[in-house]
Amino acid sequence: MNPTGNARFEIASSIAVFASISIMALETFDLAPELKHALFVADIALSLAFVAEYLFRIATAENKRGYITSFYGLIDLFALLPLLIHAAASLRVIRLLRLLRILRLLKLRRYSNALDRYMEALKSISAEATLFTGVALVFIIAFAFVIYEVEHEAQPDLYRNIFDSIWWAVISLTSVGYGDVYPVTAAGRLLTLAMVLTGMGIVAVPTALLASALSQVTNSESEG
């Protein structure tokens, strides 16, 4: 099978994965019994298709044992685990194993130059990314402890422990601001302002570095 054919085959497999995950999502809704049954049948059909694909890959592989034990071969095998234990699908923890199918999307990386460029760009700024990740963690933990001391007495139900404070720190650092946890004291509001302003820099700088690295990688490929 030529590279183009392989790419199309992987894209078709990925569409099947998205369909499978979509079925899993739809099952969380209160649906009519007929529709639930139709989704169940469709999921079984997709699972059997994944099994057939796995067996086909083994049959057509030049090195069968090598494929089975390879990274992508193991992804295919793990993606089949939900079917092997489908009889226990009523258990929620077991059903979550069906999400392993999404691992199959990792195989598209072999056919995407864009992903290759992205990974190369990430490698080129790995030191900076590590630094800013560490800085972010330090700020999150430090601000979480401070906000706990400031807000716990005023809002004991919202700032019950340090984990609630870490939640506040994360949504403040990323400027998400869900509104479920917010300070009411003057000190807490000033701390939130400082956290938001700090987060703007912590998020913006790595983003700019990645954009610059991607530009350099793209230009290098064009010149080459």
Q: Is 26 helix (H, G, I), strand (E, B) or coil?
A: helix
Amino acid at 39: L
| Residue 28 and residue 105 share a domain | yes
Q: Which of 89, 111, 133 is the last residue of a domain?
A: 111
| Residue 81 and residue 10 share a domain | yes
Q: Which of 111, 143, 175 is the last residue of a domain?
A: 111
| Residue 145 and residue 99 share a domain | no
How many CB atoms sit inside 10 A of residue 140's CB?
A: 22
Q: Which of 189, 169, 187 is nearest to 178 (CA)?
A: 169
| Residue 102 and residue 9 share a domain | yes
| Residue 62 and residue 14 share a domain | yes
| Residue 148 and residue 78 share a domain | no
Structural tokens at position 82: 């939900």
The CATH code of the domain that includes 29 is 1.20.120
Q: What is the pLDDT of residues 56-66, one digit of tens each?
A: 889 988 888 88
Q: Which of 14, 11, 43 is nearest to 26 (CA)?
A: 43
CA distance 93 to 140: 31
Q: What is the pLDDT of residues 132-162, one digit of tens each?
A: 888 888 888 999 999 999 999 999 998 988 8
CA distance 63 to 117: 29
| Residue 219 and residue 135 share a domain | yes
The CATH code of the domain that includes 150 is 1.10.287.70
| Residue 103 and residue 23 share a domain | yes
Sorted by sequence, the CB contacts under 8 Å of residue 189 that are 6+ apart come out as: 183
Q: Which of 111, 131, 161 is the last residue of a domain?
A: 111
| Residue 124 and residue 103 share a domain | no
Q: What is the pLDDT of residues 63-85, one digit of tens each?
A: 888 888 887 788 778 777 666 66
Range of the domain at 218: 118-223
pLDDT the model gives residue 84: 61
Chain-wide mean pLDDT for the chain? Answer: 80
| Residue 103 and residue 126 share a domain | no
SS (H, E, C) 169-190: HHHHHCCCCCCCCCCCCHHHHH
In angstroms, what CA-CA distances link 12 with 18, 122, 164? 10, 28, 43
Dihedral of CA 113/111/47/103: which sign?
negative
Query: pLDDT confidence of 179, banded at 50, 70, 90?
Result: confident
Is the predicted pLDDT of residue 110 greater than 70, yes or no?
A: no
- What's the structural domain count of the chain? 2
